[in-house]
Amino acid sequence: MPPVVTATHRVFDKDIPPALRIEDGATVVFECPSAFDWGPEATVADLPRLGGLPHIMAGPIAIDGAEPGDALVIDILDVVLTSPQGVCAFGTTFGLLATDFDAPYLKVIHYRDGRGLIAPGVSVPLEPFLGIMSVAPPEPGEHRTTPPRRVGGNMDCRHLRPGTQLVLPVAVPGALFSCGDGHAAQGDGEVCGTGIETNVRATLTFSLIKGGAPPTPQATVRRPLERTDRPSSHLLTTGLGEDLYACAQDAVRHMIARLVADHGLSREDAYILCSLAADLRISEIVNRPTWMVSAYLPLSVFEN
All residues at 6 or more sequence positions from 224 whose CB lies less than 8 Å from its CB, including other chains: none
Q: How confident is the model at residue 232 (pLDDT cuts 50, 70, 90)?
A: confident
Query: 154: closest CA among 110, 99, 193?
Result: 193
Element (H, E) at 109: strand 105-112
With a pLDDT cut of 90, the percent of the chain lying above it is 94
Give the pLDDT confidence score for residue 21 in this predicted structure.
Answer: 98
Q: How confident is the model at residue 148 (pLDDT cuts 50, 70, 90)?
A: very high
Give the pLDDT confidence score for residue 227 in this predicted structure.
Answer: 82
Judged by DSSP in three states, 261 sits in: helix
Give the pLDDT confidence score for residue 225 in this predicted structure.
Answer: 87
Q: What mean pLDDT is reported for the chain?
A: 96
Q: How confident is the model at residue 229 (pLDDT cuts 50, 70, 90)?
A: confident
* pLDDT reading at 165 higher than 90: yes
Return the amino acid letter for 137: P
* pLDDT reading at 231 higher than 90: no
Give the pLDDT confidence score for residue 90 in this predicted structure.
Answer: 97
Q: How confident is the model at residue 304 (pLDDT cuts 50, 70, 90)?
A: low
Q: How confident is the model at residue 80 (pLDDT cuts 50, 70, 90)?
A: very high
The string of pLDDT tens digits covering residues 242-277 is: 999 999 999 999 999 999 999 999 999 999 999 999
* pLDDT reading at 119 higher than 70: yes
Query: 159: closest CA among 115, 128, 123?
Result: 128
Query: 187: closest CA among 67, 270, 82?
Result: 270
The string of pLDDT tens digits covering residues 4-13 is: 999 889 999 9
**Domains along the chain?**
4-220 (2.60.120.580), 234-301 (3.10.28.20)
Give the pLDDT confidence score for residue 228 in this predicted structure.
Answer: 75
Give the pLDDT confidence score for residue 48 in this predicted structure.
Answer: 95
